[in-house]
């Protein structure tokens, strides 16, 4: 873990992390927009396009906030990205899912698409404890999250540079996870030849390969490592 923390602040890895997040977020936005433009009257493409574009716009917002050293604001958006990740995962297991998400009334959507319910529907695919950590840092206002604010660092092994580098690594890992689901969705729903979908996918694949190869901090962390870096409890304390 000490080695990981030291690598977080490496300037070359930090620059690659930032550029990768930028590429993936922009590609998500563009892919969603193209899917919508080439099929705005059709389902399930409309739902898929909207969900992917929501991921892209949320990712773009997080990139912008991190570039302004606003990790608290970015953390709130990364929490939203986790929920988009859940949703896109559901799209890959049932081709009726996109239409349900778009057409059900508010009560049904709240019941079936709250984070806890989406995790439950996917069995053990997602960790509730990871979502809890995101809620503690970027969800409900909690004093435990104050350490990500400028000049609010707790005593310990982290400097401000490392704290913000952690934000980039976390964002990148979730954007990669989202792109894994997008890749499956484009194939499952026969959308690979729509507009720029294929070229966007190729570009993101290349960016992901380079990042995973060249940045030691690109790998997904264990629950304990996430909690340690987030300086909060890994105990699941959220029901949503």
**For the chain, where are the alpha helices, taking DSSP H only?**
2-8, 11-37, 45-67, 71-91, 97-103, 106-113, 115-121, 128-138, 160-188, 197-214, 223-230
Reference 14, options 218, 206, 205, 213; nearest CA is: 218
Do the Cβ atoms of 134 and 223 come closer than 8 Å?
no
pLDDT in tens, 42-74: 788 899 999 999 999 999 999 999 999 899 999
What are the sequence ranges of the domains in the chain? Answer: 2-230
User: How far is Cα 114 from Cα 81, in angstroms, rounded to an integer?
Assistant: 13
pLDDT value at residue 154: 56
Percent of the chain with pLDDT over 70: 85
Q: Are 148 and 71 in contact (CB under 8 A)?
A: yes
For 190, the token pair is: 């026969």
For residue range 93-138, what is the model confidence (pLDDT) as tens digits? 999 999 999 999 999 998 999 999 999 998 878 988 888 888 888 8
Segment 166-181 mean pLDDT: 93
Question: d(Cα 184, Cα 199) in Å, to the nearest integer?
Answer: 15
The answer to whether 5 and 230 are in contact (CB under 8 A) is no
């Amino acid at each position: 873990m000490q080695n990981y923390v030291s690598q977080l602040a490496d300037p070359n890895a930090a620059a690659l992390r930032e550029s990768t997040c930028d590429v993936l977020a922009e590609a998500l936005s563009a892919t969603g927009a193209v899917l919508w433009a080439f099929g705005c009257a059709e389902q399930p493409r409309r739902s898929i396009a909207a969900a992917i574009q929501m991921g892209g716009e949320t990712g773009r917002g997080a990139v912008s906030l991190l570039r302004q050293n606003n990790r608290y604001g970015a953390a709130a958006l990364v929490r939203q990205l986790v929920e988009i990740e859940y949703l896109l995962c559901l799209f890959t297991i049932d081709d009726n899912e996109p239409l349900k998400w778009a057409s059900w009334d508010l009560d049904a959507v709240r019941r079936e698409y709250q984070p806890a319910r989406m995790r439950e529907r996917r069995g053990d695919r997602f960790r509730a404890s990871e979502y809890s950590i995101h809620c503690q840092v970027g969800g409900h206002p909690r004093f435990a999250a104050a350490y990500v604010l400028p000049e609010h660092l707790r005593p310990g092994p982290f400097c401000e540079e490392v704290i913000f580098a952690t934000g980039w690594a976390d964002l990148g890992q979730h954007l990669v996870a989202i792109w894994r689901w997008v890749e499956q969705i484009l194939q499952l729903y026969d959308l690979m030849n729509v507009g720029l979908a294929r070229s966007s996918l190729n570009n993101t694949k290349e960016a992901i390969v380079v990042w995973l190869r060249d940045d030691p901090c690109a790998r997904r962390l264990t629950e304990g490592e996430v909690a340690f870096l987030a300086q909060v409890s890994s105990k699941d304390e959220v029901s949503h």
